[in-house]
Amino acid sequence: MFGLFNLMGYRDRGVTTQQIMAETVDLVKVAEQGGFETAWFAEHHFSNYCVCPSPLLMAAHCAGITERIKLATGIIVLPLYTPARLIAEIGMVDALSNGRLVLGVGSGYQPFEFERFGADLSVAREQALEIIDMIERGLTELVFEYDGVHFKQPPTHISARGPQGVPPIWVAGDAEEMQALAAQKGYTPIFTGRLADVAFLEAQARRCKETFAAQGHDPASMAFGALRFTCVTDSKEEGRKFAENALFQNRLAANLRRRQEVMDDTGMMAELPIEGEPGIEEIVENLLIGDAETVAEKVTTLIRRVGMSHIAMFFQVGNFPHDRALHSVEQFADKVIPAVKKELGWTD
């Protein structure tokens, strides 16, 4: 039900990739100890928004230092890959993790990234749909071939295969095409709530359920996930500090999405405000920020009103202190999860 989402960006100059990766590993270990279901690893390129270019590499590394927690790509930007190599790497990581890989995939949204890969964002969704088909065929058929509009594959045997065959597939984004595919194939949709309130997530879920219904599936049976910024703290000042970092992260994402990013010659993005963005107090109210009792109430409300089966949470963003992010994860595991289970009548 609960997941740790690792974006792995930085806000202050001088932060090293080694530090970011080491801190991410710390968070994954603590999340596993606390009973989190899944650890997610983002993929982005060429800026301080995220320094992880390969969620599969992170999953492979964390497979060796964990035992139980599922390891999820959050998400693989499919059009930026050569399909045959990607399929083989998926099989390899599933094998290394003893079948704990969860495959989060999407078509991507940042023009800045696509331009630097020589990729065409205008056909990204079409390409993503073809690659997903190739993943399924490549990991289930002994020898597969493919003749698509965007990709051709001669008869090929993918030799690296994990115990799951095709890992569970989650599709990211609010795009109707991807959600329709999820309905057809039994995949799980996952989308971001950004800085918005519960009503925003309700609207996203409603659109997704409408798409499922249009595909002939009962929307009541639909499983789906959502991303949420989360900070469990008894300090209002610390909560505001976290909210301010969530705002920073949202600004970078929005500017990259709208092709309005401004970067210096070191790859640092300017923190440009977005028209209509919420204030800090509104962000604190909207997000899973507060003491353990408050966060438990917010999580319970979120589950009851929106009905998601999984919440993937950002605990460390921007320059929020690492020790406080670790403490927040621990508090969520020790206090929030038991309170939510008790309120909702869940049993282990």
> Which pLDDT tens digits describe the chain residue by residue (348 residues)?
999 999 999 999 999 999 999 999 999 999 999 999 999 999 999 999 999 999 999 999 999 999 999 999 999 999 999 999 999 999 999 999 999 999 999 999 999 999 999 999 999 999 999 999 999 999 999 999 999 999 999 999 999 999 999 999 999 977 888 899 999 999 999 999 999 999 999 999 999 999 999 999 998 888 999 999 999 999 999 999 999 999 999 999 999 999 999 999 888 999 999 999 999 999 999 999 999 999 999 999 999 999 999 999 999 999 999 999 999 999 999 999 999 999 999 886
Q: Give the pTM.
A: 0.97
* Through-space distance between the first and last CA atoms of the chain, rounded to whole angstroms: 11
Q: Which two tokens stand for residue 148?
A: 């698509």
Phi and psi at residue 300, in whole multiples of 5°?
Answer: -60, -45
User: Tell me, what's the pLDDT at 173?
Assistant: 76
What does DSSP assign to residue 269?
Answer: B
Q: Would you state the pLDDT for residue 94?
A: 98
Would you say 48 and 317 are in contact if contact means Cβ atoms under 8 Å apart?
A: no
Find the DSSP H helices in the chain. 17-33, 55-63, 83-96, 111-117, 124-140, 176-185, 198-214, 236-257, 280-286, 292-306, 322-331, 337-344
Q: Return d(Cα 167, Cα 100) in angstroms, integer.
A: 8
* DSSP-based helix, strand, coil % in the chain, nearest 5: 50, 15, 35
Residue 318, SS3 per DSSP:
coil
pLDDT at residue number 137: 98
- Measured CA to CA, the distance from residue 28 to residue 15 in angstroms comes to 20
